[in-house]
Every structure is written in C-alpha cells, then in structure tokens.
C-alpha cells in the first residue's frame, strides 16, 4: 500500500511530535546527546538522588568511579543503552556546584562518562517545608520523612514518563567495591527478570538478638537503594497507593518499608505494624489507619508473581554499621558510615572481626529508645517492641490530590 505525500507528511509529523514531547521530560547535560533513543525498549538509568544535606557526600561518591578505582564499566564495554540521571529534591539552582562537577567528570575523555549515553537531571521542585527529613520529630509529625518519600515518587514518575524500563536508585552512601559494577548489575538484572524490585535486605548482624520479634515486612524489606522495574504493573499500583497516602499517617513510613508492607499484606496475608503508635494517639480524632489487606490481595491475584521482591547478590545493604563482617563478594555496598576510600589508604582494613559489628549491635540496642524501621539502621536508640496483637483502628483517610511530577529543563 502506498501513502500519498500529504499522508506521509502527517505521519512523520505525528511521530516527531511524540518523540519531542517525551524527551522534553528530561534534558541532556552531555556535549553529545542521543535523546531519540529514550523510547528504545529496555532502556536503563542509574539515578543519583540529591538533597541539600547530602550534596557534598554525593560529590565525593563520584570520586570512587575513577578508572583507577572502581569504574562503572569495563574499558571494552560502552553504556550506549544506559543513562545517568541526577534527581534533585528541590532545584538545580541550589546545587550548581554539584551539577558542574558531575558534568565535567561525565565529559572527561579518560573518565567514567563513556559508560553512559547521556546525563540528565530531574528537578522534583519540593519546597523547603516539604523537603523534610527529621528523625527527631518522627513520633509527632507525619511529615518527618516527606522529603525522601516525595522525591522517590516524583523521580519514579519522571522515569516512567521518559520511557525507561528499569532504573537503579543509588543514593550517595552506596559505594562500588569492584570494577565494572554496572556491567555486573546489568548481568544480574538479565538473569533474575522478571522482578518488580531487585535489591538487598539488611545483611548486618545488629538485629540478630531480637530479629524474631520484629515484623517480617521490616526484616525482609528491600532497602530503597534498589533496581525498580518501571514496566511492572503491580509496582505501578503500589506507587499510586504511595501517592494516595501522602497526606495520611502512612506518609510517616519510609517508602521502601511501606512497599514491603504492601507486598507482605498482598502475598503473605501479613498485617502491617504501624511503627509510630504515638502519632495515632496524638491525632486520635484526626488520622486513623484503614486496613488495606483485601485491596492489596486483589492486586496480587491479578498481577502478582514469584520473584516480584527479588534479593540481589550484587547490591548489599549494611545499614548504619561502622564495620562489616560479611561484605564478601558484594559488588555495591550501601552503608551510612562505610568509607570505601580506606581501601586506598595504607594500614587500613574494611573487614574487622565479626565481634566488632556484634558489639556495635549491642551498643545500638542500649541506646535506641523507640522501635521503628530506622531505629537500627539509621539512628542510635533503644529498642522497644510493640505489642503483637494490637488491632488497627478503622476510619477513612482523605484522598490526597495527585501531585504532578516536575522535571526541569536546564
């Protein structure tokens, strides 16, 4: 069948408009961009989330990507189907120094930039008040972790709109331990597909003395530094639920732990334990929990499958541990106090004896006053376990208005 000239012009114009509209969601910062490939099937991105409090640590984290240390890919490989994305919680105006430094490193001829096709940025445009992450008020303010929660949701939406299939959410405290870590990550993704989330549960030993009394959704939850399958329909439903819950009590639960709660309610019929009961007590007449197990189970019947929550052997989550007894062959380590640069300093060691971490676990338990998902891995407080048989209170939560995913063109 032959097309007339007018028809051909219309078809080409429509196709060009579709490509331009999609690629306008993100803008390349590289000298030579290839934005037309954003629509190609299987496109993957490494996303580095940035907020004002961790700009310096993220700048330092790129140093270890140097070719003499742990570059993302091997010299013979090229990341022509993978992009690097910086996701700013606010705007790039507040982080110009970081942007300039990363762009310079990306464009350096002998640097790690050849491992990626493009460098993009996303501005999540949170206000100063909304970009909140304050553990000191987690028993009194539902918004205490609103910054990271909202940044993740908006980043996910921007990645989805741009046509990516998967992305690795790699925070500033995630450090590679091997050369070619991106190649190994891609290989594992290929071997373990299909999956919804591919990452690591806590691998340290600080919980060992009381892990049997902790909620299974917390013990088995995959840390937020993970690979997300943007094309997975069940994951879409979970992200929509996170958006819905943004103005209710569940917004006080970190997004990665909340995703785990949804998964275990859906697939294992395990009721969720709300980690901050004092929040409900203080707002008894305003905010109540609504049981959602039946809703999540309906999702699972339609969209669930074995392997949705998939454990990675490449990524290892060691939480807030100064010492790691079981790094072993882990390729990428997530740890708040881990300093990978010790490996390049004389007389240093990154693998002390097992007893060191166990001792740290005992010290953490003595100091941790409240039980919550961040108690062990992020902050030193005494552990106080909630009663197992505490029933949830039934009342509706107002539906939050869906926020637009904001991206910036720079």
Residue with the bigger pLDDT between 18 and 94: it is: 94
Residue 309 pLDDT grade (very low, low, confident, very high; cuts 50, 70, 90): very high
Per-residue confidence (pLDDT) for residue 296, from 0 to 100: 97
- The mean pLDDT of 15-20, rounded to a whole number, is 44
Per-residue confidence (pLDDT) for residue 41, from 0 to 100: 38
Q: In sequence order, what are the beta bridge partners of 175?
A: 333
Residue 6 pLDDT grade (very low, low, confident, very high; cuts 50, 70, 90): low
pLDDT of 333 > 60? The answer is yes
User: Per residue in 22-35, pLDDT tens?
Assistant: 444 454 443 333 22
Domains of the chain: 35-367 (3.90.550)
pTM score, two decimals?
A: 0.75
pLDDT of 201 > 50? The answer is yes
pLDDT of 39 > 90? The answer is no
Closest to 116 measured CA to CA, from 44, 25, 198: 44
Per-residue confidence (pLDDT) for residue 26, from 0 to 100: 52
Contact 52, 97 (CB under 8 A): no
- The mean pLDDT of 248-257, rounded to a whole number, is 94
Residue 197 pLDDT grade (very low, low, confident, very high; cuts 50, 70, 90): very high
Contact 80, 39 (CB under 8 A): no
pLDDT of 268 > 90? The answer is yes
Which strand ranges, in their side-by-side order, compose the sheet holding 174-176? 174-176, 332-334, 315-317
Residue 63 pLDDT grade (very low, low, confident, very high; cuts 50, 70, 90): confident
pLDDT of 168 > 70? The answer is yes
- The mean pLDDT of 260-264, rounded to a whole number, is 97
Average pLDDT, the chain: 75
Most confident option among 233-242, 340-349, 378-387: 233-242
Distance CA 214, CA 219 (A): 7
Residue with the bigger pLDDT between 364 and 203: it is: 203
Residue 210 pLDDT grade (very low, low, confident, very high; cuts 50, 70, 90): confident
- The mean pLDDT of 142-153, rounded to a whole number, is 95
Residue 78 pLDDT grade (very low, low, confident, very high; cuts 50, 70, 90): low
pLDDT of 327 > 90? The answer is no
Residue 2 pLDDT grade (very low, low, confident, very high; cuts 50, 70, 90): low
- The mean pLDDT of 209-226, rounded to a whole number, is 92
**Angle, in degrees to the nearest 10, between helices 293-303 and 255-268:** 70
Per-residue confidence (pLDDT) for residue 67, from 0 to 100: 73
Per-residue confidence (pLDDT) for residue 258, from 0 to 100: 97
Distance CA 258, CA 251 (A): 9
Distance CA 357, CA 231 (A): 39
Per-residue confidence (pLDDT) for residue 379, from 0 to 100: 35
Residue with the bigger pLDDT between 31 and 323: it is: 323
Picking from 7-21, 65-79, 228-242, 262-276, which range would have the lowest pLDDT averaged per residue? 7-21
Picking from 61-70, 263-272, 289-298, 313-322, which range would have the lowest pLDDT averaged per residue? 313-322
Contact 167, 225 (CB under 8 A): no
């Amino acid at each position: 069948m032959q097309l007339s000239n007018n028809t051909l012009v219309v078809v080409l114009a429509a196709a060009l408009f579709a490509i331009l509209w999609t690629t306008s969601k993100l803008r390349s910062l590289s000298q030579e961009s290839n934005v037309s490939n954003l629509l190609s099937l299987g496109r993957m991105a490494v996303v580095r989330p940035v907020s004002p409090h961790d700009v310096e640590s993220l700048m330092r984290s790129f140093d270890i990507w140097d070719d003499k240390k742990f570059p993302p890919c091997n010299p013979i490989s090229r990341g022509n189907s993978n992009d690097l994305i910086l996701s700013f919680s606010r705007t790039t105006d507040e982080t110009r120094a970081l942007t300039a430094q990363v762009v310079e490193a990306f464009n350096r001829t002998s640097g790690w930039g050849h491992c990626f096709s493009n460098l993009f940025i996303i501005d999540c445009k949170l206000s100063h008040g909304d970009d909140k992450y304050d553990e000191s008020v987690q028993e009194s303010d539902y918004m205490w972790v609103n910054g990271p929660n909202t940044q993740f949701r908006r980043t996910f939406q921007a990645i989805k709109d741009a046509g990516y299939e998967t992305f690795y959410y790699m925070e500033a405290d995630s450090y590679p331990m091997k050369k070619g870590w991106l190649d190994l990550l891609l290989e594992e993704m290929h071997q373990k597909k299909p999956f919804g989330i591919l990452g690591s549960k806590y691998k340290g030993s600080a919980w060992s003395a009381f892990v049997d009394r902790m909620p299974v959704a917390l013990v088995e939850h995959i840390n937020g530094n993970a690979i997300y399958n943007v094309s997975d329909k069940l994951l879409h439903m979970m992200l929509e639920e996170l958006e819905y819950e943004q103005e209710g009590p569940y917004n006080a639960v970190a997004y990665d732990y909340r995703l785990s709660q949804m998964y275990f309610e859906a697939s294992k019929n395990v009721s969720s334990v709300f980690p901050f009961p004092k929040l409900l007590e203080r707002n008894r007449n305003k905010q109540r929990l609504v049981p959602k197990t039946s809703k999540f189970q309906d999702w699972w019947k339609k969209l669930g499958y074995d392997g949705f929550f998939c454990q990675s052997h490449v990524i290892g989550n060691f939480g807030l541990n100064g010492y790691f007894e079981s790094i072993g062959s882990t390729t990428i380590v997530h740890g708040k106090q881990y300093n990978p640069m010790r490996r390049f300093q004389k007389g240093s060691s990154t693998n002390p004896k097992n007893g060191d971490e166990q001792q740290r676990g005992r010290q953490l338990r003595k100091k941790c006053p409240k039980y919550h998902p961040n108690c062990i891995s992020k902050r030193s407080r005494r552990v106080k376990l909630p009663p197992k048989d505490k029933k949830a209170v039934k009342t509706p939560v107002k539906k939050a208005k869906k926020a637009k995913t904001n991206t910036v063109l720079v």
